[in-house]
């Protein structure tokens, strides 16, 4: 990684007085890294290792659209997801990871800010649709994401309801959350509309922060 690229990765969002401000070398002092504690949600009738592996620093999540839900009594669609234990009700929080999506994966959510209101279960879903990374179905976050690693930062200010998304250190989208009294982060593969038979996403260097 070049020094220029490294600096781009350090240009992470700071949220102050409701405004979105970028910061550079002050990243380490601006954010506090939190322990990464999580559980894996995967099809209840399979061994976890059939759909999830962690090897050489890479978390590999796979699900098939014909799989069972993560709980026997659940009516939700198939998933293999990391449910991060960072429940929060206020403050500023950030998800960071390197992400790789293989060709052919489509119709799937790969990252969520869980928690919403008025019928919304989440405040953000980043979905893969035909090789593009989308915010739900409404906004294109990044085009042509297949078969290469990209760096993802998602920042949520629970107090101002602002969400900002960075790709490779560049802010690409801001949006409001969808309400909710508490939130947490998820990543992996969670089946959505018009899903491919097999969905896969790989993550490494997963970190969460607060401030």
pLDDT tens column, 89-113? 999 999 999 999 999 999 999 999 9
Using one digit for the tens of pLDDT, what is the confidence trace for 36-57?
A: 999 999 999 999 999 999 999 9
135 burial (CB, 10 Å; 0-12 / 13-18 / 19+) is middle
Tokens of 21: 């401000």
Q: Which of 7-21, 75-89, 183-197 has the lowest mean pLDDT?
A: 7-21
pLDDT above 90 (res 187)? yes
The tokens 């293999």 sit on which residue?
A: 80
Q: What is the pLDDT of residues 136-162, one digit of tens each?
A: 998 999 999 999 999 999 999 999 999
Do 191 and 44 meet the contact criterion of CB atoms below 8 Å apart?
no
Count of C-beta atoms within a 10 Å radius of residue 202:
19
pTM value is 0.87
Give the SS3 label for residue 29. helix
pLDDT band at 30 (very low <50, low <70, confident <90, very high): confident
- Which are the contacts of 180, defined by CB distance < 8 A and separation ≥ 6? 115, 116, 117, 120, 123
Q: Hey, which residues does 80 pair with through a beta bridge?
A: 189
Whether 187 contacts 82, CB under 8 Å? yes
Q: What is the DSSP string of 153-195?
A: EEEEETTTTEEEEEETTEEEEEEE----S-BEEEEEEEE-TT-
Q: Residue 29 — pLDDT band, cuts 50, 70, 90?
A: low
* Domains defined along the chain, listed by start: 34-210 (2.60.120.200)
């Amino acid at each position: 990684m070049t020094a220029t690229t490294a600096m781009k990765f350090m240009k992470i969002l700071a949220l102050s007085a409701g405004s979105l401000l970028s910061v550079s070398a002050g990243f380490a002092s601006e954010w506090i890294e939190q322990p990464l504690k999580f559980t894996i949600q995967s099809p209840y009738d399979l061994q976890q290792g059939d759909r999830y592996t962690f090897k050489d620093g890479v978390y590999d999540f796979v699900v098939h659209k014909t799989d069972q839900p993560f709980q026997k009594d659940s009516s939700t669609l198939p998933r293999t997801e990391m449910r991060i234990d960072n429940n929060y009700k206020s403050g500023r929080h950030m998800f960071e990871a390197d992400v790789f999506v293989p060709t052919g994966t489509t119709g799937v959510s790969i990252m969520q800010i869980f928690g919403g209101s008025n019928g919304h279960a989440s405040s953000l879903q980043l979905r893969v649709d035909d090789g593009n990374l989308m915010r739900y179905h409404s906004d294109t976050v990044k085009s042509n994401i297949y078969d290469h690693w990209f760096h993802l930062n998602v920042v949520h200010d629970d107090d101002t309801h602002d969400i900002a998304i960075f790709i490779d250190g560049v802010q690409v989208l801001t949006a409001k959350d969808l309400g909710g009294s508490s939130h947490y982060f998820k990543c992996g593969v969670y089946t959505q509309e018009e899903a491919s038979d097999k969905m896969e996403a790989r993550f490494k260097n997963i970190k969460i922060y607060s401030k």
